[in-house]
Copies of this chain bind each other. A is one copy, B any other.
């Protein structure tokens, strides 16, 4: 029932070497990579602001793919996916559903990171039969405190990063401590491990559309999280300055069937990458329970 009808079977052993494929969704090509065993409910990864296929920590993907079929894809108009990037989370959620159905799946699990977590919440609420379980990392509910500041914070960090010749991801995803800086540099190195067939970077117009979508999500009226009836695992670093960590606690408190991973110490928005071993173990346990 969960076997895809129109995608070749996963055959590679690591995300570093996973070929980039594409599937047509209403005339647009959505780029994706998949990895892991063919059986079981596939896990769809929903990526963060500006993220493309190469922005997933290979340790997290490989770790999850050791036991689950894992599929990462590019949002419409981002990286290798064609089309025009939507400027609302709701439209991104519709795209995610179309992509999942285009691959022939009728039941999936979701892992949404940051903006991808916003998308995951909408998909889970709108498609209770399609979505079995959800993992939300570094994210928050509509109208969550500080989320509408993500665009300004991102632009500020980008300008500062350019002036200091430092990747803005270090300050946005990691704590400004010895441990946080070390974890950030380690992630940047892991993200470079794939050297062939890398994804295209996001374009400036697509980036702007996503910024607009995030600001809107942050300013939206709080959503009724009781509409999400699936089991949800919630994780984050204890000191997330992008989507402030209280949002994670709020999700865990208001989602009817949630499990909260104790907030990762000395970690921020990229907590699940910084603690990839712990996160993978916990996520697999959650998905397989």
Query: Residues of A with Cβ closer than 8 Å to B?
Result: 50, 155-156, 158-165, 168, 201-204, 207
CB nearest neighbor in B for A206: B163
A-B contact pairs, 20 of them (CB 8 A): A50-B163, A155-B155, A155-B159, A156-B204, A158-B158, A158-B159, A158-B162, A159-B204, A159-B207, A160-B204, A161-B162, A162-B162, A162-B168, A163-B201, A163-B202, A163-B203, A163-B204, A163-B207, A164-B201, A165-B201
Give the docked Cα–Cα distance between A155 and B202 (Å).
16
User: In the complex, which of the residues A158, A168, A202 has the most CB atoms of chain B within 10 Å of its own CB atom?
Assistant: A158
* Closest Cβ–Cβ distance, residue A163 to chain B (whole Å): 5
When distances are taken between beta carbons in the complex, the residues of chain B under 8 Å from A160 are 204
* Closest Cβ–Cβ distance, residue A177 to chain B (whole Å): 21
Give the docked Cα–Cα distance between A160 and B207 (Å).
9
CB nearest neighbor in B for A50: B163
When distances are taken between beta carbons in the complex, the residues of chain B under 8 Å from A165 are 201
CB nearest neighbor in B for A154: B159
Other 10 A-B pairs with CB < 8 A, given A158-B158, A158-B162, A163-B202 = A50-B163, A155-B159, A156-B204, A159-B204, A160-B204, A162-B168, A163-B201, A163-B203, A163-B204, A164-B201
When distances are taken between beta carbons in the complex, the residues of chain B under 8 Å from A156 are 204
When distances are taken between beta carbons in the complex, the residues of chain B under 8 Å from A203 are 163
When distances are taken between beta carbons in the complex, the residues of chain B under 8 Å from A159 are 155, 158, 204, 207
* Closest Cβ–Cβ distance, residue A264 to chain B (whole Å): 26
Task: Please give me the 6 A-B residue pairs with the lowest Cβ-Cβ distance, nearest first.
Answer: A158-B162, A160-B204, A164-B201, A163-B201, A163-B202, A158-B159
* Closest Cβ–Cβ distance, residue A96 to chain B (whole Å): 22
Give the docked Cα–Cα distance between A203 and B204 (Å).
24
When distances are taken between beta carbons in the complex, the residues of chain B under 8 Å from A161 are 162
CB nearest neighbor in B for A211: B159
* Closest Cβ–Cβ distance, residue A187 to chain B (whole Å): 15
* Closest Cβ–Cβ distance, residue A207 to chain B (whole Å): 6
* Closest Cβ–Cβ distance, residue A79 to chain B (whole Å): 11
Give the docked Cα–Cα distance between A14 and B155 (Å).
37
* Closest Cβ–Cβ distance, residue A200 to chain B (whole Å): 9
User: In the complex, which of the residues A162, A163, A165 has the most CB atoms of chain B within 10 Å of its own CB atom?
Assistant: A162
* Closest Cβ–Cβ distance, residue A188 to chain B (whole Å): 11
Give the docked Cα–Cα distance between A161 and B204 (Å).
9
